[in-house]
Structure 1
Amino acid sequence: MEHSQLKRAKRQLASWGTGRTGPVDNGPAQGTRTATVVLESAAQLPPVLASDFVGHRTVVFVPDGQDGGPVRQADPQAPGAVGPLVVRYEGSLAEPGDEMSVGDSFFLQTQDYATSEYMSVIGPTLIRITEEADFDGYLADADRARNQGTFADFATDPAVRIGDLSALGAGPAGDGPFTRLYVRSNGEVSLSPVALPLGTVADGGAALAAEWTRLNSGSAHPCAVSLGLVVPDRARTDALTARPWLGRYLAALDAVRELRSRGITGLEVSGFGARLVPGLAELGDSAADRDDVDAPLLLWTGEQAVVHSARTGRFFSLGRAAAELAETLLVHGSVEAAAAHADRAALTQVETLFASAGVRLTVATAAAR
């Protein structure tokens, strides 16, 4: 496999595991093809390739060493391409503790959440919720981070990704049958190994998408599909309702993970157990950035501070004084409210600086305050 194809395959596999990428662009029929499809059995390869949810830019992962029939494959960037990128893999993407590999070039381990605390991360790892005990462990770690500012070390390891984020508080945006599918050996199709079934390969993409929408329409906190086989949706929705900040927690994990990959450790995150400006902690649940997943995050260690925009993925380094002003704006939600606690001109300058970079620090309306 060429380097560019392997890089794309790795990126698509991360998207499939997390459910964190939007539909693939397939030209005029945008949104009608699935970006990434993982097969449990090579026997399903011919019907999958013949299905209407696989397009020339789809990446299909199929077990190696099995008879999957002829492979229709082409360079996805080539004019007139007639097939998807088919990637042969060994191992498993479903069983906790197992590993999948693509030749000698890439390895991915799958691990259940509950035991991940006790495992050493030695390479790319996808951590899944595989039973209610895993979900309880995830909630306990999230509560600890929110109340004490202590993030589980394994969850912020740069080599780790947490699976099925749409069911854990991130919301269903970007997830669904046009982002990822898992095809079981009997032809049953869902989003992941632990997700509710959506139908069969023969049903086609439109029917699979309609079933995904139907199942989610009855849930207070979609996605109700991704963990449907292992966590009762009532227990899941009750937990998410009690923690409206979980999407922001997941964004904080991403930010800490990325900064750790750059060698920045010992990070604190504003709103998670502490504030850079101590007096801001007094606002508690009335803080404008409490639950807003789109609000930028302020992280710091010593005199080094960073603002991270989850929406754009960008990081901005700040000095201590500018960081305190940025946090004041984030917590109060507007220059008007923040000006009672800091210099208005300085606040406006910081707000304008970030706005020019496409990042809003004042995310709340007056009513939200």
Structure 2
Amino acid sequence: MDVEVQEKDAVKSASGDADRLRLWLEGERAVAGARDLLLETGADVELASRVSLGIDAAVFVSEDDVEGTVSQIGGHRVVRYDGALEIAGGELCLFDDMIVQTEGYATAPYVSISVPTAFAVVDELDLAALRADLAAARATGVLPAYLTTALATVVDQRRWLEPLLPDDDAPRRLLLCADGTLRDGPGGRVVSADGSIDPSHHVPPAEDAGEIARFLGAAKVVRALRARLGREVSVAGYDGKVGSVGAGRTDSVFVASDDASSYVVDIATSRIDRVPDAVATVVEQTLCARAGTGDGGDAGRAPEGSERVLEALALERFLPASADRAL
């Protein structure tokens, strides 16, 4: 293998590891059936070796602790990082120059996003800023630019999206703290050795949890489609049309469009379908009707043909009760 090929492979590997770290920060699995683990600096490597991670899991280890780690982790991919896991104002470096930065959400409008950036809601100030963005988006129909750039994401995004997703309390990634505590992420719940979470650690959702989830879900869809399609995309409800946000919706489906096509995206299954505009309209109207946010006398009633459309898109779980369907 020549030097140029080796360099390209190294860049590809570094980029893949940075994306994997992004998923870890979001609270998502990078590989089905596996849970990536990040060890804080000074964490007990021997303790980490006893944690069940699944096949193809990655283990992020501080450069200061990496010596001897490979032999103890037991076949998992070890990814070295430099820096500290500071949820607001931190930097983690992979392969010398691949940087992932973390910032508090309240600082988002002022952050230069030139590297992968994860915004975290860590205190009341951050939460107030998030709710202010939600209110502005509800009033204007526009998502903030710093949430839709491809380099951005939200720490613990999976947890914020839970009101839209099927119940699944199993940790999808793990953090081994320097004090020996195993958690399901930064500032997350304590995880036992068998991978379970104490039910007493469950925090009841806020009243606006569903709205926040739809807001962050829409931004997630825009980022994903822009990266996939390489062009501008908008999401129904956040497409610049004032008053178009469907309040009260807690489904996981988003209708998106660009200049050429319409798309139906289900973030619960990661399924993306390119569909005719008419089909996209039926999906959006049906799910708004399900939430009781239809227009005028049609509120709560699905449009004609909705049953066939949703079944074809594997969305039959969102069909209204038969008595409420338009005949």
Q: 1:235 is matched with which residue?
A: none
**TM-score, structure 2 length as denominator?**
0.76
Aligned partner of 1:220 in structure 2 is: 204
Query: Please, which of 249, 266, 270 is the counterpart of residue 291 of structure 1?
Result: 249
1:168 correspondence with 2:168: no
Confirm or deny: 8 A CA contact 2:283 2:310 kept in the other structure.
no
Q: 2:120 aligns with which of 118, 124, 128?
A: 128
- Are 2:320 and 1:364 equivalent residues in the alignment? yes
1:184 counterpart letter in structure 2: C
Deviation at 1:310, TM superposition (A): 2.1
Unaligned runs of 5+ in 1: 26-33, 75-81, 222-239
Matches within 5 A, 1:223-262: 240-261=206-227, 262=229
Q: List alignment gaps of at least 5 residues for structure 2.
A: 1-5
Residue 221 of structure 2 aligns with an amino acid whose one-letter code is: A
> Which of 145, 158, 183 matches 1:190?
183
Deviation by residue 1:177-226 (Cα, 9 ceiling, x = unmatched): 64222222222332333335x27xxxx522x6243x3311xx322xxxxx
CA pair 70-321 structure 1, distance change in 2 beyond 3 A: closer
Q: Which amino acid aligns with 1:112?
A: G
Letter in 2 for 1:220: P
Q: Answer whether contact 2:41 2:84 (CA < 8 A) is retained.
A: no
Q: In the alignment, does 2:21 pair up with 1:13?
A: yes
Q: Deviations over 1:148-199 (max 9, x none)?
A: 2121111111111101124435258687664222222222332333335x27
CA gap of 1:368–1:19, structure 2 versus 1, over 3 A, is farther
Q: CA deviation at 1:64?
A: 0.4
C-alpha change, 1:313 and 1:53, in structure 2 (3 Å) is closer
Structure 2 residue aligned with 1:29: none
Asked if 1 retains the 8 angstrom alpha-carbon contact of 2:262 and 2:277, the reply is: yes
Tell me the alpha carbon deviations over residues 254-303 of structure 1, each in whole angstroms, 9 at most, x when there is no partner.
1111233334336252377748xx9xx6x975xxxx42223x22234667
Aligned with 2:231: secondary structure? coil
* Partner Cα separation in structure 1 for residue 323 and residue 18 of structure 2: 44
RMSD: 3.9
- Percent of matched pairs sharing the same residue: 21
C-alpha contact 2:279 2:309 (8 A) present in aligned 1: no
Q: Deviation per CA, 1:50-86, whole angstroms, max 9, x where unpaired?
A: x243455432111103465452278xxxxxxx43222
1:325 and 1:92, CA in 2 relative to 1: closer, same or farther beyond 3 A? same
Alpha-carbon distance between aligned partners in 2 of 1:291 and 1:43, rounded to the nearest angstrom: 42
Check conservation: 1:177, 1:205, Cα contact below 8 A. no
Amino acid at match of 1:65: D
Change (3 A) 1:284 1:103: closer
Structure 2 Cα separation of the partners of residues 67 and 330 of structure 1: 50
- 8 Å CA contact 2:249, 2:287 repeated in 1: no
Distance between the aligned counterparts of 2:69 and 2:28, measured in 1?
A: 31
What is the TM-score normalised by the length of structure 1?
A: 0.68
Residue of structure 2 in register with 1:94 after alignment: 86
d(CA) in 2 for partners of 1:85, 1:266: 35
**What does residue 118 of structure 1 align with?**
110
Specify the alignment match of 1:209 in structure 2.
196
Moved more, 310-319 or 255-264: 310-319
Give the count of matched residue pairs: 309
1:44 alignment partner in structure 2: 44
Superposition map of 1:332-347 within 5 A: 332-333=289-290, 347=304
Q: Which residue of 2 aligns with 1:265?
A: 232
Report if aligned partners of 2:14, 2:95 keep a CA contact under 8 Å in 1.
Answer: no
Alignment map for 1:134-149 (pairs within 5 Å):
134-149=126-141
CA distance change for structure 1 residues 186 and 303 in 2, over 3 Å: closer, same or farther?
A: closer
- Which secondary structure does the structure 1 equivalent of 2:71 belong to? coil
Partner of 2:3: none
Tell me the distance in 2 between the aligned counterparts of 1:266 and 1:70.
Answer: 43
SS at match of 2:256: strand
Query: Retained in 1: the 8 A contact 2:282–2:309?
Result: no
Q: Secondary structure at the match of 1:312?
A: coil
Distance in 2 separating the partners of 1:367 and 1:165: 36
Secondary structure at the counterpart of residue 192 of structure 1: coil
SS of residue in 2 equivalent to 1:53: coil
- What is the rounded CA distance, in whole Å, between the counterparts of 2:284 and 2:35 in structure 1? 38
Q: Secondary structure in 2 aligned to 1:307?
A: strand
SS in 2 for 1:87: strand
CA distance in 2, matches of 1:312, 1:177: 17
The equivalent residue for 2:62 is 63
